[in-house]
């Protein structure tokens, strides 16, 4: 119950935060210390997850991160096999931009038997996929369509529905390596009407892009691929 509290406090203090996403499939656990040494110093959270990670790899990676970093580890899991009890928290995602019951509720139900055996902090999160200009893995895996960038009002409605449903975080996602980031106009519109902490990610590479997301109202920005490139 500490991590959500921290994020909520950051919201009240208008303190922006930064998360780096590590895909267990794309790192060697033996090199973890070196990898973590290259984390930007402003990193507040480490997200761990990917679309196609095999069983147990997540455990290994989370343990390796724990061994050389004190940053909170938040699972951002593509499926139930990626639940590791060694992390601190899990984004309990509901893909609310799409209409596939598997990712609205069935995956959540399947994860319960794993979660019951862990002490992970569970953070109810409304996950909203915005069109990033190319078919992203999330769309492919979940067989859902992202919301077009032009449909700002619909995006706001989805985010508000998530808030009314009791989600504690809103995550606007343009997809990994998105060609177009979530437009500031969308971030701004959601921020204006939703009271929850707002996470934005997908395709963000530069500090300027990060800044523009913050300026539009993102409370937390997530960077994955750009960090991977950096550690190669
Ligand atoms: C974070 O899933 C994304 O929301 C990761 O996107 O790999 O493009 O940073 P990138």
Contacts of 31 (CB under 8 A, 6+ apart): none
Tell me the best of 131, 172, 173, 205 to mutate to test the pocket of ligand 1, counting ligand atoms within 8 Å of each CB and taking the most.
Answer: 173
* Beta strand pairing call for 169-173 and 121-129: parallel
Tokens found for residue 151 = 């449909």
Given the CA of residue 138, which atom of ligand 1 is nearest to it? 2
Tokens found for residue 4 = 């959500």
Overall number of domains in the chain:
1
Tokens found for residue 119 = 């002490």
CA 204 / ligand 1 centre spacing (Å)? 7
Range of 53-62, 129-138, 211-220 with top mean pLDDT: 211-220
Question: Average of pLDDT values for 175-190?
Answer: 97
pLDDT digit string, tens, across residues 72-108: 999 998 888 889 999 999 999 999 999 999 999 999 9
In the structure, what pLDDT confidence band is assigned to residue 37 with cuts at 50, 70 and 90?
very high
Could you list the residue range(s) of the whole structural domain that residue 130 is in?
2-231
Quick one: angle between helices 184-193 and 207-216, nearest 10? Answer: 30
CA 76 / ligand 1 centre spacing (Å)? 11
CA 154 / ligand 1 centre spacing (Å)? 22
In the structure, what pLDDT confidence band is assigned to residue 232 with cuts at 50, 70 and 90?
low
Helix (H) or strand (E) holding 11: helix 2-12
ipTM: 0.96
Contact assessment for residue 222 and residue 169, using Cβ atoms and an 8 Å cutoff: no
Helix (H) or strand (E) holding 201: strand 198-201
pLDDT at position 138 is: 87
Q: What is the CATH number of the domain that holds 135?
A: 3.20.20.390
Give the CA distances from residue 96 to residues 36, 42, 81, 195, in Å, rounded to whole numbers and listed in that order. 32, 30, 21, 17
Indicate the DSSP class of residue 203: S
Tell me the best of 178, 209, 229 to mutate to test the pocket of ligand 1, counting ligand atoms within 8 Å of each CB and taking the most.
Answer: 178
What gap in Å lies between CA 45 and CA 229, rounded to an integer? Answer: 19
CA 79 / ligand 1 centre spacing (Å)? 16
* Percent of the residues in the chain that have a pLDDT greater than 90, as a whole number: 87
What gap in Å lies between CA 31 and CA 88, rounded to an integer? Answer: 22
Tell me the best of 170, 198, 222 to mutate to test the pocket of ligand 1, counting ligand atoms within 8 Å of each CB and taking the most.
Answer: 222
What gap in Å lies between CA 79 and CA 52, rounded to an integer? Answer: 8
CA 48 / ligand 1 centre spacing (Å)? 11
pLDDT at position 1 is: 58
Given the CA of residue 228, which atom of ligand 1 is nearest to it? 7
What gap in Å lies between CA 10 and CA 140, rounded to an integer? Answer: 34
Question: Average of pLDDT values for 158-167?
Answer: 98
Gyration radius of the chain's alpha carbons? 16
- Ligand 1 interacting residues, C-beta cut-off 6 A: 21, 173, 176-178, 201-204, 222-226
pLDDT at position 78 is: 80
């Amino acid at each position: 119950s500490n991590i959500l509290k921290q994020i909520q406090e950051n919201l009240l203090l208008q303190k922006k935060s930064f998360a780096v996403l590590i895909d267990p499939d794309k790192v060697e656990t033996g090199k973890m210390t070196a990898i973590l040494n290259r984390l930007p110093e402003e990193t507040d959270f480490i997200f761990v997850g990917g679309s196609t990670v095999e069983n147990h790899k997540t455990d290994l990676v989370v343990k390796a991160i724990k061994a050389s970093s004190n940053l909170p580890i938040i699972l951002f899991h593509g499926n139930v096999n990626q639940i590791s009890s060694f992390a601190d928290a899990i984004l309990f995602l509901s893909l609310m931009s799409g209409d596939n019951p598997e990712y609205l509720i069935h995956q959540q139900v399947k994860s319960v038997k794993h979660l019951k055996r862990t002490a992970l902090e569970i953070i109810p999160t409304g996950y909203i996929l915005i069109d990033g200009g190319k078919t992203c893995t999330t769309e492919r895996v979940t067989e859902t369509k992202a919301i077009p960038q032009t449909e700002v009002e619909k995006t706001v409605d989805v985010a508000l529905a998530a808030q009314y449903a009791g989600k504690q975080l809103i995550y606007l996602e343009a997809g990994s390596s998105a060609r177009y980031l979530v437009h500031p106009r969308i971030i701004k519109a959601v921020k204006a009407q939703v009271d929850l902490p707002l996470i934005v990610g997908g395709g963000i590479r530069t500090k300027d892009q990060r800044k523009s997301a913050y300026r539009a109202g993102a409370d937390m920005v997530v960077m994955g691929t750009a960090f991977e490139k950096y550690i190669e």
